[in-house]
Structure 1
């Protein structure tokens, strides 16, 4: 039976990734043909849509009582999302796209850092207050996320003029068509995200592999593929603000996802029933997000090596830490 679960897992991951490519194209159209712009299109529209696998996976894992897969998927996806951003920064180093990004993303990064601190605190505290079986940490995460999104919507957004030009692909697609197709592919990601969760848990049970490893690595990697493909396409389209916004927006949404999972976890508090390794993942997410903010804040660099140095350092550090923790 294990090979069947693995097959379902792989097929679901592929379909989710392909759907994300189309999501990114239609989000790019919406951002360039409306007043939304790349910042909000990435931070809210594309970020939430490509994070639907994380939502369905975490909720499904919570319902079946797998706290490690639920929390590990949500927080582990932050690491993979950020790692993808660093790798793409290195890949597109000759264009130095990240020197043209709006500094408005610093606000989103600050929200992400705050949520990382709150989630780490919730994982560290042995006892947590709860209301209707929902932990205090989950309430705090929801309030910070909601307040942060409201503040971002009120923020004056300054975007480079390079994103004002509508590309050929968006010229041939109307807003109505873009919105309709965006919703269609979002539904596809939602459905196959659930399949990822159930098959990932089945793989864990049938192989005996730790649920923490399955949740934080295998499932988190698979559910992050739509984010990776969406960001890659955004960069190919030259919409740098949508790419950065998608990663940071997805990261803060993924922490909210864990709080949502807590609502559907009926065996206690999802923040309390996870292994200690999840705490380290939350801390690493904080550090990687801080590095992203440093990259965004730069306005110039001497050469290609100094340009990619922060991203290169982050990638190497990530691999070393992950190897130390789990191998």
Structure 2
């Protein structure tokens, strides 16, 4: 289907409709990914970064692969980097609407610090890749996306290992041996098996089926988002870089927005931030499938200066939240945590710079 043959308003409606499908199906996807993680006994770090991260990133996977097939490297790369920045800004919006205080103050989990540092490492390496250029390994595929994919896998391993180690608790605690009563929720695997043996298998089967159906919907909607956005970038004259970092990034970030909001409403503040960090580490790794589908050469070599801008913005926003997680001060400005307020100002400033960089005039 030739989307450029449609009028501008037609592509805009397609983008909005596909975004609605992504929002609804993405929410179901995340819910069932959480159920699968619980039923299979995965650690929270791996379930959040792998199952939930992959689930909520399906729109980005579909969009970037489709953009690569369409030959629009700027749309593919800026969708990924713009998505990382957009989702960090989402934390500020969630903080404003749903948290009575600073979001990072209610998230005292040091695993988040490791997740944020690993995210900064991945984005920094991707900036080096774009600045240095790529080397073709085979056919049209470059070396940097494989390195970034390896960093993602390593991040999952180190986060899982870190979550299982109590590295911040002092080794000797007073009266540690005097309080060994088993908490009400500290039950062994045999207890869970005896209580849930009859429920686990049907629940896992149901969650798996619903996960698959929702994934198919998100993939189709993601392809529609990429195609309509590619046409809009030509029809509006804004260019794939700006459209990818704004409209496409917003549309494909809808599952992350819905799941993060749900986690905060349920009082799971740490999970809300972990969802964003885990998803963003996968976003950078998606340069690999994008490179596999972009046949004009290594996709890193086709990235423009706007990709460097959005990637740098992503690092700035992540660093701001790492600062907030370390300081943990419950101070607000206009119902926003100070870190969230700084992140929102930085993100809006970055969008202005990106708009000016795109060559568009107000």
Normalised TM-score (structure 1): 0.88
> Which structure 2 residues correspond to residues 102-251 of structure 1 after superposition, within 5 A?
102-125=109-132, 127-132=133-138, 133-157=140-164, 174-251=203-280
> Judging changes above 3 Å, is the alpha-carbon distance between structure 1 residues 30 and 243 closer, same or farther for their aligned structure 2 residues?
farther
Cα contact 2:101–2:336 (8 A) shared by 1: no
Contact 2:242–2:354 (8 Å) recurs in 1: no
**2:50 corresponds to 1:21:** no
Whether the aligned pair in 1 keeps the contact of 2:135 and 2:142 (CA below 8 Å) is yes
CA RMSD of aligned residues (A): 2.8
For residues 126-178 of structure 1, give each alpha carbon's deviation from its aligned partner in whole angstroms, at most 9, with x where no partner exists: x421201222211210121122222223333489x9x99xxxxxx99934323
Q: 1:206 to 1:110 in 2, by over 3 A?
A: same
Alignment partner of 1:70 is 2:98: no
Alignment partner, residue 54 of structure 2: 48
Question: Is 1:39 the equivalent of 2:68?
Answer: no
Counterpart CA distance in 2 for 1:39 and 1:242 is 9
For residues 294 and 330 of structure 2, the distance between their equivalents in structure 1, rounded to whole angstroms, comes to 51
- The answer for unaligned runs of 5 or more in structure 2 is 1-5, 167-182, 187-198, 357-362
Which residue of the partner structure matches residue 107 of structure 2? Answer: 100
Distance 1:73 1:279, change over 3 A: same
Q: Which residue of the other structure, out of 315, 322, 325, is the alignment partner of 1:293?
A: 322
What secondary structure, in the 3-state scheme, does the structure 2 residue paired with 1:65 have? coil
Q: Which has the larger radius of gyration?
A: 2
Q: Give the TM-score normalised by structure 2.
A: 0.80
Tell me whether 214-223 or 237-246 shows the greater mean CA deviation: 237-246
Q: 1:79 aligned to 2:85?
A: yes
The equivalent of 2:289 in structure 1 is 260
| Gaps in structure 1 of 5+ consecutive residues | 165-170
**Distance in 2 of aligned mates of 1:31 and 1:291:** 30
